[in-house]
């Protein structure tokens, strides 16, 4: 005679399907809502495209490219490393796959318009976006450094790591400056730009 309790214990447990969205059970909307509660600083990541023909000095230079980012952090003090997360296939992701030098400007609360401009979807060309923004060109990276930023960093890519639908770009900081002590940082919280206080 078959022991039904032992037979039942030997059968595999029924598989409960995960909610649509992610295999582990969290939906994109749930994840986005939870992460929107994490306040983050706002930076402008910039780089200069390589010249169209590096062997021809008369060939036109590459265009400046900029991107607003909130997923930016310090990784290491020795050596000085930072990390920025880029959406896979974004223009900046493609550019930094071929151009190892880039820069970061830590934006102030009065530079919300710059953050919004470089975060627009279906935006105009980057050349026009930089047109009326005061900046200097980084001595190391050649990338634009926003005037009045709280801090600027010039970096060289050390490592690129694919993580889901993003690329984590780890850069060695080659130059760091604190050009402005005025104002507080621009923050991003619950889907909006904000300021401290």
Dihedral sign, CA of 183, 185, 186, 188? negative
pLDDT tens series, the chain, 197 aa:
445 444 444 555 555 554 455 567 888 888 778 877 777 889 999 999 987 766 777 766 688 999 999 999 999 999 999 999 999 989 999 999 999 999 999 999 999 999 999 988 766 677 788 988 999 999 999 999 999 999 999 999 999 999 999 999 999 999 999 987 678 999 888 888 887 76
Written as six digits, the tokens of 140 are 């190391």
Given strand 81-87, what is the order of strands in its sheet? 64-69, 43-48, 101-106, 151-163, 166-177, 81-87, 72-76
Q: Which of 106, 20, 117, 30 is nearest to 67 (CA)?
A: 117
């Amino acid at each position: 005679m078959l022991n039904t309790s032992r037979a039942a214990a030997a059968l595999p447990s029924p598989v409960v399907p995960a909610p649509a969205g992610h295999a582990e059970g969290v939906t994109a909307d749930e994840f986005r809502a939870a992460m929107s509660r994490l306040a983050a600083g706002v930076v402008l990541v910039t780089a200069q495209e390589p010249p169209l023909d590096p062997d021809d000095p008369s060939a036109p230079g590459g265009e400046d490219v900029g991107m607003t980012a909130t997923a930016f952090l310090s990784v290491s003090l020795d050596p000085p490393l930072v990390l920025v997360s880029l959406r896979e296939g974004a223009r900046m992701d493609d550019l930094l796959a071929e151009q190892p030098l880039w820069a970061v400007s830590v934006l102030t609360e009065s530079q919300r318009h710059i953050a919004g401009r470089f975060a627009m979807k279906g935006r105009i060309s980057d050349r026009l976006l930089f047109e009326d923004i005061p900046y200097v060109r980084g001595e190391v990276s050649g990338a634009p450094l926003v005037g009045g930023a709280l801090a600027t960093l010039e970096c060289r890519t050390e490592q690129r790591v694919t993580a889901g639908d993003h690329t984590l770009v780890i850069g060695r900081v080659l130059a760091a400056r604190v050009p402005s002590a005025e104002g507080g940082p621009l923050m991003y919280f619950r889907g909006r730009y904000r300021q401290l206080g």
